Structure 1
């Protein structure tokens, strides 16, 4: 779950040239994108735990 959370965070916020991750990034309001620009550590500190909780809940749900 942790590695998946880190992977998704990296793809959405840092490596999103096109496709699915670009669509997710485009859903983030522009002012939030601007605020988070250059805040790599903050992005990982906030979004990895959130995604980890989501993925853990999904794993428990389907286990």
Structure 2
């Protein structure tokens, strides 16, 4: 249960509109900022789709 909560919190940090994502983009070179924003957005959407399913599988394996 704890791992599922922690992983869900980690997914939020990879969002480009979160403070951590904004700091990453702000420290990137001017020419790479737009690409960095899109990359972080894709990563956050991917993690949002993958992590809940992965945590469900881990919970099933842990109880089985």
TM class by shorter chain equals 0.3 to 0.5
Q: Which has the higher helix share?
A: 2
What is the TM-score of this pair, normalised by structure 2? 0.42
Report which of the two structures shows the higher radius of gyration computed on alpha carbons.
2
What is the TM-score of this pair, normalised by structure 1? 0.42
* Greater relative contact order (Cα < 8 A, sep 6+): 1
